[in-house]
Amino acid sequence: MRCNMEVLKNVSIKPYTSMKVGGNVKEIFFPEDTDDIIDVLNKCNEVIVIGNCSNLIIPDGYYDKSFMILRDNFSKIRKDGYRIVAESGATMKALSRFALKSYLKGFEFLDGIPGTVGGGIFMNAGAYGPVISDVLESVRAIRDGKIVSYTKEQLDFSQRHSSFQTNREIIVGATFIGEEGDQKEIEAVINDLNGRRREKQPLEYPSCGSVFKRPENGFASKIIDECGLKGLRIGGAEVSKKHAGFIINVDNASYEDVVSLIQKVHDIVLEKTGISLETEVKILR
């Protein structure tokens, strides 16, 4: 393993999560290239890969697992004609802003999603209709210690799903393709979407964004609101009064607070409506 790769032992994962929940973990690796990633995979029998950790809830106390963070340390972006090539640790906001500077449209919706390119592809992240696979051309991943490439058609994309959720391969980069656009018009769309987010979402609190997937018969947030659950609270975790689809950390919430509240919302909605909401966030046990 490269001797100067940053590795932290027995440290809190909480500062690296968007929910601001989680205890100490065995170790955290910060690779800077694919060779580093392969080295970590060879060293560890199991490693959990995160970016902004915007869709993952990690237990409190000591969690005896190894983590690998692909974020600022693995975030290069470059232009190739109408294509954008990005490493998986680049944020979706950075990708959106790079597209803006490159006069490429189609990436505006990514600007307010608080995650990385790798996490976005893993979850097929989206907002206000479009999803990241709409602008995706291909993905580079590590499988069995080697770099492999996939077209988006090979990756089984659907609502908040990709094949990476089951194949255990590590996303290391992607190529996106956009359309030439007017920079002022692109910026106007970004500003409009971000204004709508600020108006409707509790961005001032730590959260994992939308907790539940959209069910077939409506929006999760609307269903939760109609069940009268806005403001429901367990410990420091609360169903946002601004957007019922968000569970927010209002007062140093614990892992148990957050997970218990998610379960309670699920159970009340099921009892009142017969709808079993499926979580969009991933909960580690």
Name the pTM for this structure.
Answer: 0.91
pLDDT tens-digit series, residues 198-214: 999 999 999 999 999 99
Q: Are residues 106 and 170 in the same domain?
A: yes
DSSP 64-112: EEEEEE-SGGG--EEEETTEEEEETTSBHHHHHHHHHHTTEES-GGGGG
Residues 171-189: what's their mean pLDDT?
98
Is 160 an active-site residue? yes
The reported pLDDT for the residue numbered 217 is: 80
Which residue out of 210, 221, 240, 254 is catalytically annotated? 210
pLDDT at residue 45 tops 90: no
Query: Which CATH number do you get for residue 241?
Result: 3.90.78.10
Q: Which domain holds residue 216?
A: 202-283
* Residue 145 forms part of a structural domain: yes
The reported pLDDT for the residue numbered 193 is: 97
Q: Name the band, by pLDDT with cuts 50, 70 and 90, for residue 168.
A: confident
Is 280 an active-site residue? yes
* Residue 194 forms part of a structural domain: no
Query: Which CATH number do you get for residue 174?
Result: 3.30.465.10
Cβ-based neighbours of 144, under 8 Å, separated by 6 or more: none
Please identify which residue in the block is written with the tokens 């290239």: 33
Q: Which of 71, 105, 128 is the last residue of a domain?
A: 71
Q: Are residues 119 and 211 in the same domain?
A: no
pLDDT tens-digit series, residues 63-109: 999 999 999 889 999 999 999 999 999 999 999 999 999 999 999 99
Q: Are residues 162 and 224 in the same domain?
A: no
Q: Which of 71, 101, 126 is the last residue of a domain?
A: 71
pLDDT at residue 3 tops 70: no
Give the number of domains in the chain.
3
Q: Are residues 81 and 39 in the same domain?
A: no
For residues 69 and 48, is the Cβ–Cβ distance under 8 A? Answer: no
* Residue 67 forms part of a structural domain: yes
Which residue out of 71, 140, 160, 214 is catalytically annotated? 160
Q: Name the band, by pLDDT with cuts 50, 70 and 90, for residue 1.
A: low
Q: Are residues 66 and 80 in the same domain?
A: no
* Residue 197 forms part of a structural domain: no
For residue 151, what are the β-bridge partners? Answer: 138
pLDDT tens-digit series, residues 104-140: 999 999 999 999 999 999 999 999 999 999 999 999 9
pLDDT at residue 2 tops 60: no
Q: Are residues 206 and 112 in the same domain?
A: no
Is 71 an active-site residue? no
> Chain-wide mean pLDDT for the chain?
96
